[in-house]
Amino acid sequence: MTPLVSIAGLSVAFSGVPVLRGVDLAIGKGEALGLVGESGSGKSVTWLAALGLLPRHAKVSGSVRLDGREILGAPAAELDQVRGGRVAMIFQDPASALNPVLTIRRQLCEALSLHRDLQGNAVKAEARRLLDLVGIPDAGRRLEAYPHEFSGGQVQRIMIAMALAGNPDLLIADEPTTALDATIQAQILELLSTVRRELGMAMVLISHDLGVVAENCDRVAVMYAGRIVEQAPSNQLFADPVHPYAQGLIGALPPLDGPRRRLTAIPGTVPDPAKMPDGCAFAPRCTLASEPCSRAAPTLAPIADGRAVACIRAEASRRALLGIAAE
């Protein structure tokens, strides 16, 4: 089956500084893929690049196919149809994605008339239905309100309504529930999964909340410094992370019960994209790093069915497992 979207060798550089360094990723129809990873690792940029939303000075290369058709570098008119239509994106900074001087009704109706064949009262009724759908109470009246009159969490729900306006095949949700309390978050994620089931919509869920990703995604990709370092089915990743960065990430989660302890933060910071170390980008922070790690960047290699890891140690253990002698 051709994947809905397949990204290959996607690279992005800003003013000559590479921030995405060869991302390969495929999403099947109706699939839910989680994208987690270090702040600044390129999770947002991956999708901004794929949808042609980066500023001009960004140098983008590689390939992004939607149903087998190349969309990277496609003409603006074609991309306008893709964005908000077949592929919708909920942005990370909701306040900056809504226009503060227009009512919610204006903004929703604009999105609807752009991507749906609706006229007049039907547009308004649909706008109202969408607000209802995402659980904004008193939707009819609230349509006339401006973004600043909503709480942070309500703004986020409005963003989801806007994204659903075009009946997308793929929803890129960049931190869609960060500003919501757990009970509403649970309802929103439930809502997204219902919509997904009904419309067969695929979803990429970008989130810092490993719990949210674990519960809502079939598969998870972990990013570090512009690359994918581990890919696995959700349950396996969280039960048994292989890449040292993924292990650190899961270990840094504060517990909700038991004694409080100082959090085990991963030491150090992400390398400056302008001064990327040779070899494995995680080596300066990795407790397992050894001399060969700094020679060549490990590639993402399969270690089991549906699992792939970019770490020399994982390769070594896989070789041991398969009884292949190390060269």
Partner 1 sequence: MSPPLVEVSEISRSYSMRSGMFGRSTAVRAVDGVSLTIPKGETLGLVGESGSGKSTTGRIVLGLEPPDSGEVRFDGKPMAAPGTAAWRAQRARMQMIFQDPLGALDRRLPVAAQIREPLDIHGLGTPDAREERVRELLRAVELTPAHGARYPGALSGGQRQRIVLARALATKPDFLVCDEPVSALDVSIQAQVVNLLCDLQAQLSLTLLFISHDLRVVRQISNVVAVMYLGRIVEIGSADDLFARPEHPYTQALVSASPAPGRRSAGRIVLAGDPPNPAARPQGCAFHPRCPRAIARCAREVPALAAVGGNRQVACHLVTGAETRDAA
Ligand X SMILES: Nc1ncnc2c1ncn2[C@@H]1O[C@H](COP(=O)(O)OP(=O)(O)OP(=O)(O)O)[C@@H](O)[C@H]1O
Cβ 100 to Mg ion shortest distance, Å: 17
Using the 8-state DSSP alphabet, how is residue 294 labeled?
A: G
First to last CA, the chain: 36
* Binding segment (CB under 6 A) for ligand X, from list 38-46, 190-198, 274-282, 309-317: 38-46
Q: How many residues interact with ligand X (rule CB under 6 A)? A: 20
Which string of x and - marks every residue 132-151 that binds ligand X (by CB under 6 A)?
----------------xxxx
The side-by-side arrangement of strands in the sheet containing 307-309 is 87-90, 170-174, 202-206, 32-37, 219-224, 227-233, 307-309, 301-304
Q: Specify whether the CB–CB gap between 72 and 64 falls below 8 A.
A: yes
Q: Which does 90 bind (CB under 5 to 8 A by kind): Mg ion, ligand SF4, partner 1, none?
A: none
Give CB contacts under 8 A, 24+ apart, made by 83-87.
83/51, 83/52, 83/53, 84/111, 84/114, 84/115, 84/163, 84/165, 84/166, 84/168, 85/115, 85/166, 85/168, 86/166, 86/168, 86/169, 86/170, 87/5, 87/51, 87/168, 87/169, 87/170, 87/171, 87/172
Q: How much of the chain is helix, strand and coil, in % rounded to 5?
A: 40, 20, 40
Cβ 305 to ligand X shortest distance, Å: 28
Q: What residue spans of 27-151 are helical by DSSP H?
A: 43-50, 76-82, 94-97, 104-115, 120-133, 139-142
Rounded to a whole number of angstroms, the CA Rg of the chain reads 21
Q: Which does 240 bind (CB under 5 to 8 A by kind): Mg ion, partner 1, ligand X, none?
A: none
Report if residue 41 touches ligand X, rule: CB under 6 A: yes
Report if residue 94 touches ligand SF4, rule: CB under 6 A: no
Using CB under 6 A, which of 74, 79, 118, 179 touches ligand X? Answer: 179
Report if residue 283 touches ligand SF4, rule: CB under 6 A: yes
Here the tokens at position 157 are: 């729900």
Report if residue 272 touches ligand X, rule: CB under 6 A: no
Report if residue 313 touches ligand SF4, rule: CB under 6 A: yes
Report if residue 102 touches ligand X, rule: CB under 6 A: no
Q: Which does 311 bind (CB under 5 to 8 A by kind): ligand X, ligand SF4, partner 1, none?
A: ligand SF4
Report if residue 245 touches ligand X, rule: CB under 6 A: no
Report if residue 282 touches ligand SF4, rule: CB under 6 A: yes
Q: Which CB atom, from 36 or from 66, has the smaller least distance to partner 1?
A: 36
The residues of the shown chain that bind partner 1, judged by CB under 8 A, are: 14, 36-41, 44, 92-96, 103, 135, 137-138, 141, 143-145, 149-154, 175, 178-187, 190, 208-215, 235, 238-239, 245, 248-250, 252-257, 260, 262-266, 269, 272, 274
Q: Specify whether the CB–CB gap between 294 and 278 falls below 8 A.
A: yes
Cβ 323 to ligand X shortest distance, Å: 38
Q: Which does 149 bind (CB under 5 to 8 A by kind): Mg ion, partner 1, ligand SF4, none?
A: partner 1
Using CB under 6 A, which of 249, 280, 300, 303 touches ligand SF4? Answer: 280
Comparing CA positions, the residue from 176, 171, 199 lying closest to residue 187 is 176
- The alpha carbon of 278 is separated from its chain's Cα centroid by a whole number of angstroms, namely 27
Find the residue with minimal CB distance to ligand X. Answer: 153
Report if residue 39 touches ligand X, rule: CB under 6 A: yes
Q: Which residues in this chain contact Mg ion in the complex, by CB under 5 A?
A: 44, 92, 152
